[in-house]
Amino acid sequence: MSLHVRRSTGGRLSFYKASIRYFAKPLTLLAFLRRFVPGAGPAPHHLLHDELADALVVPRR
């Protein structure tokens, strides 16, 4: 799939932010249903655990 996880500013994630993202993934499951309401959810590659860690998933170049 060749994806990278980056900070919203384009830099690398720190260990702290990567840990937040990892441990917040179960919360994403709980918030998954909000994506089914039009206009209520985040962009497709910006889920709850990414919001908490201030991260983006981008294609690898």
33 or 32: which leads in pLDDT: 32
Domain ranges of the chain: 3-59
Residues 37 and 49: their CA atoms lie apart, in Å, by 19
Report the amino acid identity of residue 52: L
Contact assessment for residue 24 and residue 49, using Cβ atoms and an 8 Å cutoff: yes
Q: Is the pLDDT of residue 48 over 90?
A: no
32 or 42: which leads in pLDDT: 32
Q: What pLDDT shows up at residue 5?
A: 83
Q: What pLDDT shows up at residue 42?
A: 53
Q: Read off the pTM.
A: 0.50
- pLDDT tier for residue 11 given thresholds of 50, 70 and 90: confident
Residue 15's SS3 state is helix
